[in-house]
């Protein structure tokens, strides 16, 4: 599983490095199976951490993005706002995942976390290509984040963020690309 995910990420990165059309890396992720695999792997890590209990990682305060989606509000946002919100959220997630990864020594969870980190980084690069404006990654929308105190909640936030906002944004972008 991790090897396939890594291969997909490498392919995405190669496509991005090749430059050219900004939609090239997006085309790869527009295959619904790609994001589905990211979501499944996030769920696998969440389930592994839950079964491990609290002994697998150090409890700490992690800043995570808000995952709730009100479709009415979401549709009222423009694409730039959606992109910015997703970019910030992915940045927060990858930082938190890296911090948890440093405290985990158990082999299955560590490898799963590695896959999750790679997946998030791939998505950051892909979504960055959707924005016409250069958004600094350090930009944070205060209302779009929260704090969590356990690795399990962090991983839960990752799953929900990918299922929600990331998928909505990419679905809309891919629909626009296809049309």
- Where on the chain is the footprint of another protein (CB under 8 A)? 32, 36, 39-40, 66-72, 146, 160-161, 163-165, 167-168, 171
Comparing CB distances to another protein, the nearer of 40 and 101 is 40
> At its nearest, how many Å lie between another protein and the CB of residue 86?
13
What count of other Cβ atoms lies within 10 Å of the Cβ of residue 70? 8
CB 128 within 8 A of CB 87: yes
Instruction: Give the C-alpha separation, 120 to 99, whole Å.
Output: 14
In 5-22, which positions are buried (b, 16+ CB within 10 angstroms) versus exposed (e)?
A: beebbeebbebbeeeeee
How far does the chain reach from its first CA to its final CA, in angstroms? 32
> At its nearest, how many Å lie between another protein and the CB of residue 177?
14
> At its nearest, how many Å lie between another protein and the CB of residue 35?
8
Comparing CB distances to another protein, the nearer of 30 and 126 is 30
Comparing CB distances to another protein, the nearer of 117 and 166 is 166
99 burial type by CB count under 10 A (0-12 exposed, 13-18 middle, 19+ buried)? middle
- Decide: helix, strand or coil at residue 148: strand
> At its nearest, how many Å lie between another protein and the CB of residue 67?
5
CB 103 within 8 A of CB 55: no
Comparing CB distances to another protein, the nearer of 26 and 66 is 66
> At its nearest, how many Å lie between another protein and the CB of residue 102?
26
Comparing CB distances to another protein, the nearer of 44 and 104 is 44
């Amino acid at each position: 599983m991790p090897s396939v995910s890594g291969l997909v990420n490498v392919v995405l990165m190669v496509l991005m490095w090749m430059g050219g059309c900004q939609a090239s890396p997006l085309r790869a992720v527009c295959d619904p199976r790609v994001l589905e695999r990211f979501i499944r792997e996030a769920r696998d890590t969440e389930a592994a951490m839950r079964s491990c209990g609290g002994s697998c990682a150090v409890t700490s305060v992690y800043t995570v993005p808000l995952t709730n989606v009100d479709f009415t509000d979401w549709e009222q946002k423009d694409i730039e706002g959606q992109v910015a919100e997703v970019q910030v959220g992915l940045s927060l997630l990858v930082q938190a995942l890296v911090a948890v990864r440093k405290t985990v020594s158990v082999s299955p969870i560590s490898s799963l976390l590695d896959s999750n980190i790679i997946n998030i980084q791939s998505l950051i690069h892909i979504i960055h290509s959707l924005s016409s404006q250069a958004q600094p990654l350090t930009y944070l929308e205060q209302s779009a984040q929260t704090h969590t105190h356990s690795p399990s909640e962090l991983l839960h936030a990752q799953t929900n963020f990918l299922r929600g906002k990331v998928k909505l944004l990419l679905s809309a972008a891919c629909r626009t690309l296809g049309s």
